[in-house]
């Protein structure tokens, strides 16, 4: 809760600094990759590895000043990852849908090329777990997750209405894992998410 309150304070400060020059919305539709970090923790006493996946994402943002926007971003389709354990190979798969809410600061507002940085808070809905290989037939579960997210990227505007976006973000994503109801460890996913989107401002 303190982290959510801190984010709310940042958004409030950004709103207080807003002006009437850029009161409009933008939205994006893109393809992005969730690429977990290389060391994903210890599950059932073995080193765990989570592979990457691509999925369709989207966002909507309100630009309340020339430089500031508030953005909601989410997976429009679910990401799916295979989970492997050292010495056992693939032991399961899991689906998840990440969503983030945060603020972006946009540079060079009078240019076609507009870099930005952002800070937000993310939620990850975990589901669709399936046990495989050595764990086939067991009940595999992962908890939902939440945490801070950081992002950076750039928009290139073709005209006043349409743009292409490249971006990369870090998402704090850890999930407690159980097998047949017993806790076996925490998967430290903490992915880098990157991709490209098409956007419209209106």
Contact predicate 31/195, CB 8 Å: yes
Q: Quote the Cα angle for 49-124-134, to 5°.
A: 35
Reduce the secondary structure of 61-122 to three states and give it as a string: EEECCCCEEEEEEEECCCEEEEEEECCCEEEEEEEEEEEEEEEEEECCCCCCEEEEEEEEEE
Q: What CATH number does the domain located at 2-17+25-201 have?
A: 2.40.160.20
Contact predicate 21/65, CB 8 Å: yes
Q: Which residue has the tokens 């990369």?
A: 168
What is the pLDDT, as a whole number, of residue 5? 53
What is the pLDDT, as a whole number, of residue 121? 98
What is the pLDDT, as a whole number, of residue 113? 94
Confidence of residue 176 (pLDDT cuts 50, 70, 90): very high
> Quick one: average pLDDT of 35-51?
96
* Predicted TM-score (pTM) of this structure: 0.87
**pLDDT single digits (tens) 133-158:** 999 999 999 999 999 999 999 999 99
Residue 156 CB burial class (10 angstroms; 0-12, 13-18, ≥19): middle
Q: Where are the domains of the chain?
A: 2-17+25-201
What is the pLDDT, as a whole number, of residue 62? 97
Direct distance between the N- and C-terminal alpha carbons of the chain, in angstroms, rounded to an integer: 34
pLDDT over 90 percentage in the chain:
85
Inform me whether the pLDDT recorded for 18 exceeds 50: no
**pLDDT single digits (tens) 77-104:** 999 999 999 999 999 999 999 999 999 9
């Amino acid at each position: 809760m303190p982290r959510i309150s801190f984010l709310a304070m940042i958004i409030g400060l950004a709103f207080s600094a807003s002006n009437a020059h850029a009161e409009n919305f933008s939205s994006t539709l893109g393809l992005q990759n969730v690429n977990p970090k290389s060391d994903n923790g210890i599950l059932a006493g073995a080193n765990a590895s989570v592979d990457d996946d691509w999925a369709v994402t989207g966002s909507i943002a309100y630009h309340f000043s020339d430089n500031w926007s508030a953005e909601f971003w989410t997976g429009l389709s679910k990401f799916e990852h295979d989970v492997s354990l050292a010495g056992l190979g693939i032991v399961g798969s899991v689906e998840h849908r990440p969503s983030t809410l945060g603020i972006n600061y946009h540079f060079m507002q009078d240019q076609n090329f507009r870099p930005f940085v952002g800070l937000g808070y993310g939620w990850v809905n975990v589901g669709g777990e399936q046990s495989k290989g050595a764990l086939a037939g067991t009940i595999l579960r992962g908890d939902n997750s939440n945490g801070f997210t950081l992002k950076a990227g750039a928009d290139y505007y073709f005209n006043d209405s349409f743009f292409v976006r490249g971006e990369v973000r870090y998402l704090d994503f850890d999930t407690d894992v159980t097998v047949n109801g017993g806790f076996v460890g925490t998967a430290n996913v903490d992915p880098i998410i990157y991709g490209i989107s098409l956007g419209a401002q209106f």
